[in-house]
Amino acid sequence: MKKAIIALTLIVLSVAIFLTACSSPKSEFMASFRNIVKNKQYTATFMLQPKAISGFEALDRLNPEALTASNLTVKTSRDTERDLTYSTFGIHIGGAPTMDLTAHSFQNGSTGKTFVPVNDFFETAAPVTNMLDLATDSVYSKVLSENEDLKGKYIDLLQTLQNVTGQVIDENTVDEQADQLQAIEGKTAFLLYKKLNSLDKSHYQTVNGTIKLTLNKKELAELANAWLEEFHSNQDFISIYAEIAGLTESQAKEGWENRSSEMQDALKSLIQNKKIQLSTIMTVYPDSDKGVKKLVMAFDYANQDKQQKLKFDFTMNLLDFEKIPTPPTKEDILTKKELDNVMTDIIRAQRK
């Protein structure tokens, strides 16, 4: 059943992302989303906010009130013509004390490069720094104090991964995987379009200037099953799965076929189990200029037998475009020598 929930969660989130990027299959949604595809530049915020969590063994040791007071946010500015993206990631952890972790990234789609500012490590909030020092026996702060000359520079993630893992990562392979992911996203969007287009008009309602789309357990399970069917033997998906799992393509194909079959069986059981309630309501706030100014997806799961409850909201806001900061130049990026020096400092500090 856990596999079914995971599959459904991924599909529901994909639906939300799809609806923010494509026109709706129904006329009401088309009127709201028709201008989104015209936006060559946009800024958007995304938030995942738990509303209720209870009955899950893996989370029993955590404070439920702290969990529902926590959230994950992403703010993204995208310039499609320059193929540049600047994102700010935020994690707010509720409870006492509260903690906020912030990170940034530049993505250059034309080169496949992703850069992270070194300043993010120097500007962590006090509770986060204290936690990292506690976990590393103060190695975190010690290494930072020895490398303050790196402030203002940027980390090339691909280069850093090569340094840390000792493996040479072929940039052509990275580009190929990016194309494969794009193909998977395209197929997913088209699949969702077809499935949503087949829904009866009664699913869509206009309420106080908003448009609501309601999907029940059976419809969500059918969406998930359709996705599994589509990618049961998809070569792009198999290649990505093999890379992530560290398998040969033949091993990945066999393994994925088994896992997808198991998930399909779990989805059938989910539909038949009357003790499990599952639904989602998507609320769209139309905008004459942007197409959509806000989308809220409310996810609701309950299992009567296990006394489990899970509710969360996924919210997207489309904002006025915020200019992307100037991308880092070659001189701004940490060299291999500088990265090696940092790694040496970490090893030296750990030995003391």
pTM comes to: 0.80
Range from 19-28, 148-157, 206-215, 251-260 carrying the lowest mean pLDDT: 19-28
Q: What percent of the chain has pLDDT over 90?
A: 34
Mean pLDDT of 238-265: 86
- How does pLDDT run across 275-289, given as a tens digit for each residue? 999 999 989 888 877
Q: Return the HEC string of the chain.
A: CHHHHHHHHHHHHHHHHHHHHCCCCCHHHHHHHCCHHHCCEEEEEEEEEEEEEECCHHHCCCCHHHHHCCEEEEEEEEECCCCEEEEEEEEEECCCCCEEEEEEEEEECCCCEEEEECHHHHCCCHHHHHHHHHHHCCHHHHHHHCCHHHCCCEEEHHHHHHHHHCCCCCHHHHHHHHHHHHHHHHHHHHHHHHHHHCCCHHHEEEECCEEEEEEEHHHHHHHHHHHHHHCCCCHHHHHHHHHHHCCCHHHHHHHHHHHHHHHHHHHHHHHHCCCEEEEEEEEEEEECCCEEEEEEEEEEEEECCCCEEEEEEEEEEEECCCCCCCCCCHHHECCHHHHHHHHHHHHHHHHC
pLDDT of residue 75: 96
Query: Residue range 183-202: average pLDDT?
Result: 76
Q: Is the pLDDT confidence value at 65 over 70? A: yes
Average confidence score pLDDT of the chain? 82
How many CA atoms lie less than 13 Å away from 19 in the CB half-sphere?
A: 34
What pLDDT is recorded for position 40? 79
The amino acid at residue 320 is D
pLDDT the model gives residue 85: 92
Which range has highest mean pLDDT (148-162, 195-209, 307-321)?
307-321
User: Minimum mean pLDDT among 9-13, 158-162, 174-178, 191-195: which range?
Assistant: 9-13
Output the pLDDT for position 23. Answer: 42
